[in-house]
Chain A
Amino acid sequence: MTLVLQPEGGRRDRRRNLMVALILLVVFLFALAVFLLLIQGGKAPRAGLPRVLGDDAGKARFDRAVSPVSRPIAVAVSPDGRRMYVAESAGAYAVQVFETKGSPIAAMSPPHTTETTRQPMGVAVGTDGTVYVTDRRLRQIMMFEADGTYRDVLRPAGIDSWAPLAITVDRDGLIYVAEALDLPELQRHRIYVLQPDGVVVRQFGQKGDASSDLMFPSSLAVDGLGRIWVGDMTGVKVFGPDGVFKFRLRTEGEGAVALPGGMAVRNNEVYISDSINHRVVIYDASQDAVVPAGGFGTLGDGKGQFRYPAGIAISDSRIYIADRENGRIDIWTP
């Protein structure tokens, strides 16, 4: 199996697609069987104790965990690396503010809301320290001061009604938002690039079967080359800074990401939490062709383990992972 990605083009002939897929399936299953027989003596790994292939266990080291947080779904760190913002998808449904050392500072929520009327699902910090929170129920992006004071909503200029889900901010302070809505009358599976004042710089993406199409985009990252990484229900898709589709990551084999829960960038590497495989996968994104560069984590509730890792954030010296079902933020050292 090659390690490089297979870039996939646009829509293809359906039948051919089917044939190719069938052959691939056969080959894959065959390889699986070979693998199991030869490497593991025919014994499948026990459920609950997944083995992660090709992972470099030395890639990052577990440092400590911060808890309790109620089913954390997203996490962000301030530019100075001193504060951590955690969006909870249960309990108080608040964004909890911690010192990255671990002590809680505050909980922030939009005014006049309760735990049954708000639902934060994405969080990002702007270059100026502004905290952006996407809320699934309010269908808004809320802006907070670094200290947790509510400021205002952020809307894309000219768009009255939207349903933002994921958010990230690039080095230049541009804001990237993934919207996912699938009502019979309105289907939006797309990405916006916004200025902090709400002016829409770019928007792209729609629902469909092609590799370039999106299906409930729910995580985002911008790499060192300005490429936009979009995680959705079918995997990870990478677009150029201009929004033109480049390639998608494989969903089988080494470096495969099944259901991305969050993404973040450190130097030239993209860290992706692979939710249902309970691990973090790393890609080297320094070149045009991106290659898997290891990963870490296994299923469990112990140190260095995850149960459905979701959002992920990176400061210079630490990796923060929202360990959803373990109810904690895991902090790793690269």
Chain B
Amino acid sequence: MKRFKLLGVIALGAVIVGAGLVTWATPAQANGGPHGNFTLTTSSCAGCHRAHTAIGPDLLKSETVYGLCTTCHAGVAQTDVVHGQQVGTGKTLNGGGFEQVRGGAVSSSHTVEDLPVNGTPATGAGTAWGSQDGVGDGGVGVQGTLECTSCHNPHGSTNYRILRDASTTAKWVPNDPDLLSWVSYQVLATRDDAPNYAFDVTTQADCPVIPSTGTTPTPTPGPGTKCMSRFTSGVQSVTGQPSIIDPLKGMNAFCATCHKSYLTMSGGPGFNSLNTPEATVGPGTPTRIPSVIYPGTQDALDGHGEVARYRHSVGRTKGSPPKQPLRFAARGNDPNPPGTLQYDAMGCLTCHFAHGTNAAATPAAGDTIMPGPAADSALLFYDNRGVCISCHQTVGVPATVTPAPTNTSVPPTNTPTATPVP
């Protein structure tokens, strides 16, 4: 009898866990796949879980997450993250690649566990640059073992790339639940789908209109038109519902859950991020209103405890984006209908790939002023300081034109014949 009661409890628990997973995982992306879209059939779990163990951590039969995910995401499914391309078209994926991208070997990546690095599987143990607690020194940050599932929730989330919200990244950011719940809110609210590959600069259909800047007329899309690719940092897509989400912060908030020195608070004019009074925090969810906390670079501390004033302020709109091929995030307080979106905000993904890049890093000899990661391409889109030049078109190029390709291996394609860049 006692045993039966126990069984009942276990079975019930199992059902609750299962049902919870199923109901909670609302479809995130339109492209289908085994994530999210769960119908209540056991076969949708069998793709990743073994049949004969208890519900719990052992449920996963596969020993490493990289091996599991790449069983599908290395040439079978449409998104081949190992080679950084969309199967069939060869278009570069937004996230770049883990082993190859844009026809070259990867030079820096988020080194997930079991990723082959020079032939040896990586341990995945890593330290996310950026302070431990978001307020201290800008150096050593949170530590852990990086896996695909550190960032993605394989069961789906409301985020358009099934990114994890901060609360379920708890092993990375254990402190400040209040702040985290706000960050989670931002990440999960970024649920609009967007193409997972870079726009092909050669096809008209893919070209959005580039917003005009000042006196420059708006270019009309057409064959050969330089396309401004974009990433949706996300928009809240519930029609008719006034949005309290500032959509452009979702992705920055996500990166800042680990790179915590970017998880800064910033007040209005006159407040720096660190002394913004907690008292201004409003009631309800989010517990802190967006104008109070901006995950961003603008007020991040440098390695010496100083607020770095001239860091690029991600998560803020620039009014009009420079005309160049980097990607911008969407902005708009109530982004419905989607047609009203403007892609003109700088975010982490304006300069960085999320997975890995093949950009070269050849710093000038004797560069001691910025002792960064020497010869580390830091997941950047372009070689060396190519991303900077892309906007600050300092190399004798008219401001409205794509910058001179200072990088040889990775041309910032404005020519119709070149390979698409994200």
Contact of B15 with A277 in the complex, beta carbons under 8 Å:
no
Contact of B87 with A163 in the complex, beta carbons under 8 Å:
yes
Number of interface residues of B (CB under 8 A): 59
**Other-chain contact of A308, B11, B44, B62, B78 (Cβ < 8 Å):** B62
Contact of A34 with B18 in the complex, beta carbons under 8 Å:
no
Residue of B nearest to A216 (CB): B76
Contact of B15 with A25 in the complex, beta carbons under 8 Å:
yes
Contact of B7 with A233 in the complex, beta carbons under 8 Å:
no
Binary CB contact string for chain A from 36 to 50 against chain B (1 if under 8 A, 0 otherwise): 110000001111101
Residue A168 at the chain B interface, CB threshold 8 Å: no
Contact of B89 with A47 in the complex, beta carbons under 8 Å:
no
Cα–Cα distance between A273 and B271 once the two chains are bound (Å): 61
Contact of B63 with A26 in the complex, beta carbons under 8 Å:
no
Residue of A nearest to B11 (CB): A30
Contact of A256 with B74 in the complex, beta carbons under 8 Å:
no
Min Cβ gap B116→A in Å is 7
**Other-chain contact of A277, B61, B114, B116 (Cβ < 8 Å):** B61
Residue of B nearest to A180 (CB): B76
Residue B67 at the chain A interface, CB threshold 8 Å: yes
Contact of A116 with B104 in the complex, beta carbons under 8 Å:
yes
Q: What residues of A have a CB within 8 angstroms of the CB of B77 in the complex?
A: 182, 216, 233
Residue of A nearest to B47 (CB): A259
Stretch at the interface among B33-41, B243-251, B262-270, B372-380: B33-41
Q: What residues of B have a CB within 8 angstroms of the CB of A37 in the complex?
A: 3, 6-7, 10
Cα–Cα distance between A48 and B34 once the two chains are bound (Å): 23
Q: What residues of B have a CB within 8 angstroms of the CB of A308 in the complex?
A: 62, 67, 71
CB-CB contacts below 8 Å: B33-60 with A: 34, 39-44, 46-58, 60
| With A44-B56, A47-B57: A325-B87 Cβ-Cβ less than 8 Å | no
Contact of A29 with B14 in the complex, beta carbons under 8 Å:
yes
Min Cβ gap B274→A in Å is 43
Q: What residues of A have a CB within 8 angstroms of the CB of B60 in the complex?
A: 47
Contact of B14 with A183 in the complex, beta carbons under 8 Å:
no
Q: What residues of B have a CB within 8 angstroms of the CB of A136 in the complex?
A: 75, 80, 87
Residue of A nearest to B74 (CB): A89
Cα–Cα distance between A50 and B51 once the two chains are bound (Å): 10
**Other-chain contact of A32, B52, B62, B80, B103 (Cβ < 8 Å):** B52
**Other-chain contact of A33, B10, B31, B34 (Cβ < 8 Å):** B10
Residue A119 at the chain B interface, CB threshold 8 Å: yes
> What is the total of A-B residue contacts with beta carbons within 8 Å?
167
Q: What residues of A have a CB within 8 angstroms of the CB of B7 in the complex?
A: 30, 33-34, 37
Q: Which of A24, A32, A53, A261 has the most CB of B within 10 A?
A: A32
Q: What residues of B have a CB within 8 angstroms of the CB of A325 in the complex?
A: 64, 67, 114
Cα–Cα distance between A74 and B287 once the two chains are bound (Å): 53
Cα–Cα distance between A261 and B58 once the two chains are bound (Å): 22
Contact of A36 with B46 in the complex, beta carbons under 8 Å:
no
Q: What residues of B have a CB within 8 angstroms of the CB of A18 in the complex?
A: 39-40
Min Cβ gap B208→A in Å is 16
Residue of B nearest to A27 (CB): B11
Contact of B46 with A258 in the complex, beta carbons under 8 Å:
yes
Residue B167 at the chain A interface, CB threshold 8 Å: no
Q: What residues of B have a CB within 8 angstroms of the CB of A53 in the complex?
A: 52
Contact of A278 with B61 in the complex, beta carbons under 8 Å:
yes
Cα–Cα distance between A182 and B10 once the two chains are bound (Å): 40
Cα–Cα distance between A218 and B74 once the two chains are bound (Å): 12
Min Cβ gap B70→A in Å is 9
Contact of B47 with A258 in the complex, beta carbons under 8 Å:
yes
Q: Is the interface of B mostly helix, strand, loop or mixed?
A: loop
Q: What residues of A have a CB within 8 angstroms of the CB of B72 in the complex?
A: 216, 233, 259
Residue A268 at the chain B interface, CB threshold 8 Å: no
Residue B217 at the chain A interface, CB threshold 8 Å: no
Contact of A181 with B88 in the complex, beta carbons under 8 Å:
yes
| With A21-B39, A26-B15, A89-B75: A116-B46 Cβ-Cβ less than 8 Å | no
Residue of B nearest to A45 (CB): B53
Residue of B nearest to A36 (CB): B54
Cα–Cα distance between A190 and B74 once the two chains are bound (Å): 19
Residue A286 at the chain B interface, CB threshold 8 Å: no
CB-CB contacts below 8 Å: B87-144 with A: 87-90, 99-100, 103-105, 114, 116
Q: What residues of A have a CB within 8 angstroms of the CB of B76 in the complex?
A: 121, 165, 180, 216, 218, 233
Q: What residues of A have a CB within 8 angstroms of the CB of B10 in the complex?
A: 33, 37
Contact of B46 with A252 in the complex, beta carbons under 8 Å:
yes
Cα–Cα distance between A237 and B85 once the two chains are bound (Å): 29
Min Cβ gap A307→B in Å is 7
| With A47-B60, A137-B90: A256-B103 Cβ-Cβ less than 8 Å | no
Min Cβ gap B120→A in Å is 12
Cα–Cα distance between A183 and B103 once the two chains are bound (Å): 21
Min Cβ gap B338→A in Å is 16
Residue B260 at the chain A interface, CB threshold 8 Å: no
Residue B148 at the chain A interface, CB threshold 8 Å: no
Contact of B87 with A181 in the complex, beta carbons under 8 Å:
yes
Cα–Cα distance between A149 and B48 once the two chains are bound (Å): 39
Residue of A nearest to B14 (CB): A29
Extra contacts, 19 of them, besides A21-B39, A35-B52, A252-B46 (Cβ < 8 A), are A17-B39, A28-B42, A29-B11, A29-B18, A32-B53, A33-B11, A37-B3, A48-B63, A52-B52, A117-B103, A121-B76, A163-B88, A165-B76, A183-B78, A216-B77, A256-B46, A258-B47, A276-B48, A276-B61
Q: List 25 A-B contacts (CB under 8 A).
A: A21-B40, A25-B15, A25-B42, A26-B11, A32-B52, A37-B6, A47-B58, A50-B53, A137-B83, A163-B87, A180-B76, A182-B31, A182-B32, A209-B39, A233-B47, A235-B43, A235-B46, A251-B43, A258-B47, A258-B48, A258-B50, A258-B61, A275-B71, A278-B62, A299-B61
Residues of B within 8 A of A (CB): 3, 6-7, 10-11, 14-15, 18, 31-32, 34, 39-44, 46-58, 60-64, 67-68, 71-72, 74-78, 80, 83, 85-90, 99-100, 103-105, 114, 116
